[in-house]
Structure 1
Amino acid sequence: MSHLRKLATAAATLALVAGSSPATAETKLTIMVFAGMQNLPLFVAQSKGLFAKRGLAVDMKIAPNSDELRNGLADGRFQIVHAAADNSVAMVEMAKVDAKIVVGGDNGMNRLFVQPDIGAITDLRGKTVAVDAPNTAYAFQLYEMLRLAGLEREKDYTVQVVGATMRRVDALLADKTLSATMLNPPFSLRAAKAGLKDMGEATASIGPYQASAGFVLASWGRDNAETVVKYLSAYIEGMRWAADPANKAEAIRLVAENLKMPEDIAAAGYDLLMAGMNKDAALDMKGFENVLALRTRHTGKPTRPAADYIDLSYYQKAIAGM
């Protein structure tokens, strides 16, 4: 083989090797979320390679309860978490950790479910209600719905900590002494099918509410701004794909596979999610202000202005680049 031919062969081999390697090293992220329909944009981003094409390798963990989610973020075990926005507020106000909400999601789609023998919310007087944590998010929704019906916490009913939504629906079905809890899809659909009684949607009683939101430690966000923007770009693209009617059937299959449920339940949950999602995962400021108002009412402690808890600069860059 001539010298020139050897050089050409070597160059071709190097080009082939270079072409088969990723242009940049993957950035690994560990995130934590609660099980539920709200994760559809994440399921899409994983299955369609939306994270991968941006150089991200995302490992998604399921939260057993909000304490583990918040503690894991504070400890650096998770870089990004998705949960009710009030959890981020709780990190700031209770744990004195500087967390920032960087993206919205949905209104929670929460409904108050009770045991079949409960005829009205007032029948919960003297009963025990189940919550994830007693001092955050959907527990405040529950307390507010009961307050509007004339029932006061501690005086009129008892609160029992059970854990995440999937645990609470199991608890109510197994233990009839637990009389009520807040549930969202698909768990609300399972509850209704199993005979628990639906007492109405939270937002119909308490007004707009910013539920699902993504948040990070402020310092980690500043140090990894490009990664946050890439992550949000993939998340928003996943949400847009999921919301496209042309993708509905495939989206339902993704939900059924990831949440291990029948397709009819996944289909019903999909419709509820589409009704409860904010376009492009935008943060609903009126809903977030209501989150803060509920926290103040049910803790007796004032919060900071809404702007102190959020940093939408990453979201704005993600939207601008799409």
Structure 2
Amino acid sequence: MQAIELICFPGAPNLPIFVAKEKGFFDKAGVAINMTTTPSSAFQAENLINGKFQVAGTAFDNVVAYQEGQGAVTFDRQPDLFAFMGATQVELAFIVAPEITSYQDVKGKSLALDAVATGFAFVLYEMLAKAGLQRGDYSFAAVGATPQRWEAVRAGQHAGTITIEPFTSIARAQGFRVLDTSSNVFPVYQGGSFAASRAWAAGNPDALKGFIKGYLAGLDWTLKPENRQEATDTLLRNMPEIKPPVAGAVMASLLSPKSGLTPDGAILMDGVRAVLDLRTRYGSGKAALTDPSKYIDLTYYDEARRG
């Protein structure tokens, strides 16, 4: 059995991984998964590219960013990352302090981000721009992944941030406001994906296909209505920061294909185009990004699904 070091952002979308580990779906597929959660996108990318981790559950935009040389970390060689499977549309919520009731109240405030040039940051930029705010109307601070950002807003250090579940429901339950969501702004958005190095994948095709098979088995089980209570219990056990009163809201968002897990782990090409359009407009590159095949290879996914 081959071991795979997996690094993911902390969040409810990891539920199929928890399920696959606990139900033995990865074992059955011939892989042992050691999962680490990342404190930031920069830490994740650096350690995926340098080989400490073999697979990442990450924002699809992170793959694009590092392949285009626009990531928060620079390398002495060209990264060879690619997305091999989808994960979520991941509804991003613009969470703000209770006293903020409109976009106009955001003026002059500081907002917490993972990094200032990530895809999720671009989603927030787009929300603010569509509401008529200019870049000089607010300030940003790079704080880290969602748990750190939410804590910074909860503690009053920043006025708002972008969150995913369960942190959106946790914030709501504590009186914080959802000013907007990505699903209000984008009909389809390829939020989460799974990525690896092309060189590692080429040298370890059976391990990668084993990961895909195990994950898809966990996903299929998670999405079955009859498993909802057990799935909820699994999520609470693996993410103790989720308290039972908000578990229902977290699961409702997670199980909706519009805001959560994508059936069959599909990559949504309209959502990919939305990501590329945002990076073209808000990223540091000069050229328009229009070719999804630079960042995606579904060969391993297709072979794994064929058995």
TM bucket (normalised to shorter chain) is: over 0.9
Once the two structures are TM-superposed, the CA of residue 300 in structure 1 deviates from its matched residue by 4.9
Between the aligned partners of 2:243 and 2:97, the Cα distance in structure 1 is 24
**Counterpart AA for 1:68:** F
Q: CA RMSD in A?
A: 1.2
Between the aligned partners of 2:278 and 2:163, the Cα distance in structure 1 is 18
1:309 equivalenced with 2:295 (yes/no): yes
Equivalent of residue 298 in structure 1, options 250, 271, 282? 282
1:40 equivalenced with 2:22 (yes/no): no
Between the aligned partners of 1:234 and 1:120, the Cα distance in structure 2 is 44
Conserved 8 A contact 2:209-2:300: yes
Once the two structures are TM-superposed, the CA of residue 71 in structure 1 deviates from its matched residue by 0.5
Aligned to 1:150: 132
1:181 equivalenced with 2:156 (yes/no): no
Once the two structures are TM-superposed, the CA of residue 304 in structure 1 deviates from its matched residue by 5.0
Equivalent of residue 274 in structure 1, options 238, 251, 255? 255
Q: What TM-score does the superposition give when structure 2 sets the normalisation length?
A: 0.93
Aligned to 2:95: 113
Between the aligned partners of 2:293 and 2:112, the Cα distance in structure 1 is 31
Aligned to 2:142: 161
Conserved 8 A contact 2:30-2:207: no
Report the secondary structure of 1:83's partner residue: strand
More helix, by proportion? 1
Conserved 8 A contact 2:219-2:264: yes
Equivalent of residue 117 in structure 2, options 131, 135, 151? 135
Between the aligned partners of 1:35 and 1:263, the Cα distance in structure 2 is 18
Q: Which moved more, 1:120-129 or 1:130-139?
A: 120-129
Between the aligned partners of 1:52 and 1:300, the Cα distance in structure 2 is 42
Aligned to 2:26: 51
For structure 2, the 5+ residue unaligned runs are none
**Counterpart AA for 2:251:** Y
Aligned to 2:239: 259
Conserved 8 A contact 1:253-1:266: no
1:72 equivalenced with 2:47 (yes/no): yes
Once the two structures are TM-superposed, the CA of residue 108 in structure 1 deviates from its matched residue by 1.1
Conserved 8 A contact 1:141-1:206: no
Report the secondary structure of 1:104's partner residue: strand
Between the aligned partners of 2:140 and 2:114, the Cα distance in structure 1 is 10
Conserved 8 A contact 2:173-2:246: no
Report the secondary structure of 2:159's partner residue: strand
Once the two structures are TM-superposed, the CA of residue 120 in structure 1 deviates from its matched residue by 0.8
Once the two structures are TM-superposed, the CA of residue 274 in structure 1 deviates from its matched residue by 0.9
Once the two structures are TM-superposed, the CA of residue 125 in structure 1 deviates from its matched residue by 1.6
Between the aligned partners of 2:214 and 2:134, the Cα distance in structure 1 is 43
Once the two structures are TM-superposed, the CA of residue 82 in structure 1 deviates from its matched residue by 0.3
Aligned to 1:170: 151
Between the aligned partners of 2:190 and 2:38, the Cα distance in structure 1 is 19
Deviations 1:168-204 (A, max 9, x none): 11110102x5111111111001111111111122121
Aligned to 2:171: 191
Once the two structures are TM-superposed, the CA of residue 121 in structure 1 deviates from its matched residue by 1.1
1:125 equivalenced with 2:107 (yes/no): yes
Conserved 8 A contact 1:40-1:242: yes
Once the two structures are TM-superposed, the CA of residue 245 in structure 1 deviates from its matched residue by 0.9
Once the two structures are TM-superposed, the CA of residue 115 in structure 1 deviates from its matched residue by 1.1
Between the aligned partners of 1:144 and 1:206, the Cα distance in structure 2 is 10
Once the two structures are TM-superposed, the CA of residue 93 in structure 1 deviates from its matched residue by 1.0
Deviations 1:230-283 (A, max 9, x none): 110110110000001111111000000000132332332111111122111100
**Counterpart AA for 2:279:** R
**Counterpart AA for 2:8:** V
Conserved 8 A contact 2:108-2:139: yes
Between the aligned partners of 1:207 and 1:248, the Cα distance in structure 2 is 26
Conserved 8 A contact 1:100-1:216: yes
Once the two structures are TM-superposed, the CA of residue 128 in structure 1 deviates from its matched residue by 0.9
**Counterpart AA for 1:308:** K
Question: Quick check: which has more Rg, 1 or 2?
Answer: 1
Aligned to 2:6: 31
Q: Which moved more, 1:268-277 or 1:156-165?
A: 268-277
**Counterpart AA for 1:312:** L
Once the two structures are TM-superposed, the CA of residue 117 in structure 1 deviates from its matched residue by 1.5
Between the aligned partners of 1:218 and 1:237, the Cα distance in structure 2 is 24
Equivalent of residue 202 in structure 2, options 222, 236, 246? 222
Aligned to 1:212: 192
Once the two structures are TM-superposed, the CA of residue 98 in structure 1 deviates from its matched residue by 1.3
Structure 1 segments of 4+ aligned residues over 6 angstroms from their partners: none
Q: What TM-score does the superposition give when structure 1 sets the normalisation length?
A: 0.89
Between the aligned partners of 1:149 and 1:272, the Cα distance in structure 2 is 25
